[in-house]
Chain A
Amino acid sequence: MEQNDADLVRQTLCGNTAAYNGLVLRYQRQVYSLAFRMLGNAEDAGDLVQDTFLRAYNALASFRQDASFLTWLYKIASNLCIDHLRSRKAKGALSLDVEVEEGREPAADARSSAPEDSAIREAVNDVLHQAILNLPEKYRLVVVMRHLQDMSVDEIAGVLELPPGTVKTHLFRAREMLRGRLRPVLEMETDGK
């Protein structure tokens, strides 16, 4: 029978690292997904998964279990993502804005992709991924949590320690920004129908 998170946490605090491995195996994909959508590449996402679980392990004694372990992990991961993005910005890393603007035209990609539906969808997904990466951090985090991690507004509010109203405002503004950036795709779909 599969042990619940609370049992695994308790065993870990008693020195059973195998129990913690169970938590890692259970949640690493969710953390990776959040990190990948926030940071934009697999390498940084992998590093962030490691750091998140290590931080969580070191702070495990402070985990109150009033929220789920996954929510708590998201809190750590989101803070690390923000730290990472700010560090990247401080280092003057190439802006993803520049990559998108200089690298290629998202609309052109979508328009010139293969005629098959799956290829078109793949191109649209790529455009959407880049558009998400171009959102301001706070909006990006909310969009990723709401739509890609399937969290409720209240859960996001708990993780980010923001009022639910603020989370909604961020979410709606983020969607508006995405709509603006996806306009060529949306127009193409409208024209096609």
Chain B
Amino acid sequence: MENRFEHTPPEGQEGWGAYATPPATSGHSLLSASGKLGLCATVQDFLPSLIEGDGEVQPEMVAAIQGHLGVCPTCAREFKEMQRVVMLLDTLPAPQMVHDYSGVILRRIQAQGTPQSHGSVPRLDIVGRQVPATRREPARASGIGRVDEASKTRSATVGTSTVGTTRRQKILAVQTQVSTQQLRRVTAAGIVAGILAFFLSTEWGREALGGNAESAADWLRQIGDALAEIPGLHFMIASVMAALGQAGVMLSQTFRTAGSAIVQGGGDRRGSSRCIVLLPGNA
């Protein structure tokens, strides 16, 4: 068979002419996939398919490539190296599985119940002890779904996976709920802090509080109790105010023990606003 892949042009021809073009095959051209022009590059583009033996390379092309490999040491070396890599991969021994995991898996299944239940079951070591949380990766929404390579969106990839979808929806709902709660708490704390700062920046405000931390703490508790009556705000307001009140009492006790009553004069607006509850001698 005529070999169009040999380096030497046939006798009587000055250049490659028609011989520069490999036999026509679907999906391949003289321009190699690597973008290089040239016979060797073209041949080398065929080599992976040739090694794979996937039928992509037509029989006449196979013969032509083999002819080229017979006369081109560079391509022959490439081919040999590729074959060698495949051979090494194919003969890489399977890793030894030292433990039998069936017992542990069975125990975990029995611990969680029926296939339809989806409770979190702790991972066990080979003797059935619970693996510490620090060794475990963080829980993902679903091990079944995963981030899709192209869209980077999480998608279910097992069967119809309605189970995974439902779980993701639940998790999304919980995440939304949590973030909304956090936002409400921060907003409430900000509002309370703003009101308090404004109140204490005025003379009448400080007088109303008696100018000391215990009064401030009482005042905070009263405000907290009042706000806690508002439906939907009970939990966040109560927790914020309780924390502020507690801080006030603690600071008051600290100052009393130290015997330093006065930490701030009454005239400086900026100073007094910074020392919201640090006003034991301000009366």
Contact = CB atoms under 8 A, between A and B. Distances in A.
Interface in A62-115: 62-64, 72, 75-76, 79-80, 82-84, 86-88, 91
Contacts of A24: 101-102, 105-106
A66 B258 CA distance: 78
Contact of B54 (A20, A37, A168, A186): A168
Q: Is the interface of A mostly helix, strand, loop or mixed?
A: helix
Contacts of B88: 124-125, 128, 182
Nearest to A32: B97
Contact of B102 (A21, A37, A147, A179): A21
B60 interface: no
* B: interface residue count bin: 35 or more
B143 interface: yes
A29 B97 contact: yes
Contacts of A82: 146-147
A157 interface: no
Contacts, number: 162
A176 B94 CA distance: 22
Interface stretch (B107-115, B192-200, B209-217, B231-239): B107-115
A134 interface: no
B92 A128 contact: yes
B82 A179 contact: yes
A122 B142 CA distance: 38
Interface of B: 48-49, 52, 54, 77, 80-82, 84-86, 88-90, 92-95, 97-102, 104-106, 108-110, 112, 114-118, 121, 123-124, 126, 131, 136-138, 140, 143-147, 149, 157-164
